[in-house]
Structure 1
Amino acid sequence: MTTAAPTQLRVPYVIAHADEVAPQPLWFVRRPLGGMQLAYKDPRRGDAVRGVLRVRVLTNRRGAPQWRKLNTLRQWRCMERMRCQVCGKAATDPATGRIPWIMTDTAFREIPDEPTGGLASAPPTCWACIPEALATCPQLRISSTVCTVARAEPVAVLADMFTPGPGRRAIPTGERNVEISLKDETVLPYALATQLIVHVHDLQPAVRD
């Protein structure tokens, strides 16, 4: 009698891997118009995006999957370019121009007085990957609704907070995953962004033949 080998679980494109952790040489610098700004001691192009410093990560997809963590660069890429969080390909339905999205209680929040809009911190999922995602992700079995949206634009970040210390050192405040509007210029200089949040428009229950 033989036993069938277990099905290999595909690691979603957006999931972080153990060997993608990168050094974070942080400190504070003075802003031209006054005040302090969180920065890297060895500045690189792409460190600051949309007015906020972004955590550095590698994108080699090496090491054990970190199932509860998202790779920051891949998460932002999916959010800005409307790519599928499972396969990394374009999520937009070419036939309708709408974007399929699995909304959950932990990654979606309604906006008061906007019945067809909301804030999403998890990227879209293409039609081809939705059945696999629903069947294999434990969180989606707890709460999930398949929807489509007309468009989405970045409006906020989830970030870890820092304060200036002696010698301009960056001291963690202990505040993690703080939601900050991209318009909040008073708080963004002290934030290290980890995830991008988008405002989705014309959210509708999915209807597909």
Structure 2
Amino acid sequence: MPPAAHCSDAARRRGDRPRPTARRSNGRPLGHRIPRLGQDRLGRATRQGRLLMPPLIIRPTVVPFVTAWSGEHLGPESDLTVQLTPGPRLGYQAPRPTDRDTAGALWARMTHSPGTGRPIYDSMHVARQRICMYSMKCQICGNPASRNKDGWLFINWRRPWDPPTWPEGSLTEQPPLCEPHARMSVEQCPHLARGDYAVLRVQTPRLWGISGTNYQLTTGGWHARESNVMVPYGHVGLNAVLASRMIRELRNVTVIDLAK
């Protein structure tokens, strides 16, 4: 049956096209309802009674390239100023060529000293995340990420803001991976045991925008209002956000079995 046969009569009259859904590697569509994770008596993650991964280890054997270290610090807010180009936008008093990306977003500054202190596994270094996401590098080793005829290799877990078609059309701050480190992530990453996730091949990982801290311009200068604000490229709100994560939208997604 052709795809149009799945549309309602009203949709056909409007000329609407059905929204794409993620495809499994065997060609069947991924359902919108994702079974919740559970645990067995040993604390291992399960889905519908089936073991998902080996027992979690206390400490990963590799510190990911994008991981921030306790010895790395964000720049002070006192470095920020108001730029008029022609309207007011967030800027630095002493601008550098790398402060803004090609879309004009202003990025937070962070010292670069990996290996200093202890790794903070639930935090990504601003510049290293940006490099991996923009240049499609593996977030674990920093080398080129895996890509084949089905697309780039990502691991993505469901977030509250994801569309019903998840993982198709989802937004991610997690850079892609190479195959060896994707397998390592499934075995060792504790975050993957906290919610539904999928290993993906993505043909169109479109640059969508950034997330960061939203600032408000007052008579006393810029003052932080809200963190982890997601803003698409081209939006006027980009002028008042200090970016800390680059975001890609995952389109033309295939859910795969990493063991194959």
Task: Normalising by structure 1, report the TM-score.
Answer: 0.84
Q: CA deviation at 1:206?
A: 1.4
Residue segments in structure 2 that go unaligned for 5+ positions in a row: 1-57
- Return the alpha-carbon distance in structure 2 between the equivalents of residues 63 and 165 of structure 1: 37
Match of 1:77 among 106, 111, 131: 131
Matched, 1:41 2:101: no
Whose Rg is larger?
2
AA partner of residue 88 (structure 1):
G
> Which residue of structure 2 aligns with residue 89 of structure 1?
143
Instruction: Indicate the RMSD between aligned Cα atoms, in angstroms.
Output: 2.4
Cα distance change on mapping 1:55 and 1:158 into 2, 3 Å: same
Could you give the per-residue CA deviations for residues 14-50 of structure 1, whole angstroms, max 9, x where no partner exists? 111112214234333242323x111111111111112
Q: CA deviation at 1:115?
A: 7.8
> Which residue of structure 2 aligns with residue 3 of structure 1?
none
- Return the alpha-carbon distance in structure 2 between the equivalents of residues 190 and 8 of structure 1: 37
Matched, 1:124 2:176: yes
- Return the alpha-carbon distance in structure 2 between the equivalents of residues 9 and 107 of structure 1: 30
- Return the alpha-carbon distance in structure 2 between the equivalents of residues 166 and 177 of structure 1: 24
Corresponding residue SS for 1:76: helix
Q: CA deviation at 1:198?
A: 0.5
- Return the alpha-carbon distance in structure 2 between the equivalents of residues 8 and 148 of structure 1: 24
Q: CA deviation at 1:207?
A: 4.7
- Return the alpha-carbon distance in structure 2 between the equivalents of residues 88 and 11 of structure 1: 11
Q: Is the 8 A contact 2:106 2:243 kept in 1?
A: yes
> Which residue of structure 2 aligns with residue 201 of structure 1?
251
- Return the alpha-carbon distance in structure 2 between the equivalents of residues 92 and 8 of structure 1: 21
> Which residue of structure 2 aligns with residue 14 of structure 1?
66
Matched, 1:184 2:235: yes
> Which residue of structure 1 aligns with residue 119 of structure 2?
65
> Which residue of structure 2 aligns with residue 137 of structure 1?
189
Could you give the per-residue CA deviations for residues 142-183 of structure 1, whole angstroms, max 9, x where no partner exists? 33211111132211111101122345x32112x000111111
Q: Is the 8 A contact 1:107 1:122 kept in 2?
A: no
- Return the alpha-carbon distance in structure 2 between the equivalents of residues 107 and 43 of structure 1: 36
Could you give the per-residue CA deviations for residues 86-127 of structure 1, whole angstroms, max 9, x where no partner exists? 11111133x536211111124983376x98433211111211
AA partner of residue 38 (structure 1):
L
- Return the alpha-carbon distance in structure 2 between the equivalents of residues 7 and 60 of structure 1: 21
Q: Identity over aligned residues, as a percent?
A: 24
Residue segments in structure 1 that go unaligned for 5+ positions in a row: 1-5
How many residues are treated as equivalent by the alignment? 198
Corresponding residue SS for 1:129: helix
